[in-house]
Amino acid sequence: QYKTPKGHVIEVADTARDLGVLVSSDRSWSPHIEQTVQAARKMASWVFSAFSDRSSLVMLTLYKTMVRSRLEYCCPVWNPTKISDVQKLENVQRFFIRNR
């Protein structure tokens, strides 16, 4: 148990957020990837509901700016190594392509 110089107890946490990246106590990136995938899917669903134009140029531009940018934020830091994490990220792209 840790205390600050003023005597406040610092609680142990399973995850911590730094610059938008979620780091778990066991140094696994799975919680961050799960949260990133949820945010990207939510954005993809919003794109489909807000834009009626399904032309390739419009959809590609929306995907790159609204969805992929969320998936790739700080990716050199949390580069996934587990196959299940990679598949979760790739499923967002598949979701977007199927519903296009």
How large is the average pLDDT for residues 29-39?
95
- Using the CB atoms, write b or e for 13-44: b if 16+ within 10 Å: eeeeeeeebbbeeeeebbebbeebbeebbebb
Give the pTM: 0.82
pLDDT tier for residue 45 given thresholds of 50, 70 and 90: very high
33's CB contacts (< 8 A; 6+ apart) are 78, 80, 85, 88, 89
How large is the average pLDDT for residues 58-83?
93
**Nearest partner of 91 among 57, 45, 41, judged by Cα:** 41
14's CB contacts (< 8 A; 6+ apart) are 24, 25, 31
Mind listing the pLDDT tens digit for each residue in 71-94? Answer: 999 999 999 989 999 999 999 999
- Which pLDDT belongs to residue 100? 79
